[in-house]
Amino acid sequence: MSAVRRSATICLHCMHEVGIAASILDSVQAEARRHPGLHINKVGVRVGELAGVDPEALQFGFECLVKNTSFEPLALEIESVPRIQRCCCGHEFRMTDYDPHCPRCGEFMTQCVSGDQLEITFMEVDE
């Protein structure tokens, strides 16, 4: 694969994450407008493994959008969240290999209770 084609493939892969990064920046900007005089230096996000977001691509897109702007040196902290299932027996477990069976009782019909989130968790400010 040529360098140009590989670069285009990488850019297309990141487009979804760049849109998410832009939405995060919009939220940071809105919060900054609500609190004039404060400087937001870090924003944290929680990304579930089922959210369909590549954390590395999100980080890269965020850094590209922030570079040489008034947001710089705003940092993005990403917390990856595993998929957690809950069984009717009350047991919660991390699902592996796409197997929803409860390791305690063997029940197949378990419910996803974590791992699909994509949310801003905090904004750190300098006064």
Provide the mean pLDDT of the chain. Answer: 89
Say how many C-beta atoms besides its own lie within 10 A of residue 15's C-beta. Answer: 11
CATH classification at residue 113? 3.30.2320.80
At 20, the amino acid letter reads: I
Structure tokens at 105: 């009782």
**What single DSSP character describes residue 69?**
S
Reported confidence tier of residue 98, pLDDT bands at 50, 70, 90: confident
Give the gyration radius of the chain's Cα atoms.
19
Alpha-carbon dihedral angle through residues 29, 44, 65, 82, given to the nearest 10 degrees: -140
Helices (H), the chain: 3-34, 55-66
Q: CB within 8 A of 2, min separation 6: which ones? A: none
What is the mean pLDDT of the segment spanning 55-60?
95
Distance CA 93, CA 19 (A): 32
pLDDT at 78: 98
Total structural domains in the chain? 1
Q: Provide the domain limits for residue 62.
A: 3-126
How would you classify the pairing of strands 84-86 and 111-114?
Answer: antiparallel
Phi, psi of 82 (to 5 degrees): -75, 165
Structure confidence by residue, pLDDT tens digits, 3-44: 333 344 445 556 789 999 999 999 999 999 998 888 899 999
Q: How many CB atoms lie within 10 A of CB 24?
A: 23
pTM for this structure? 0.81
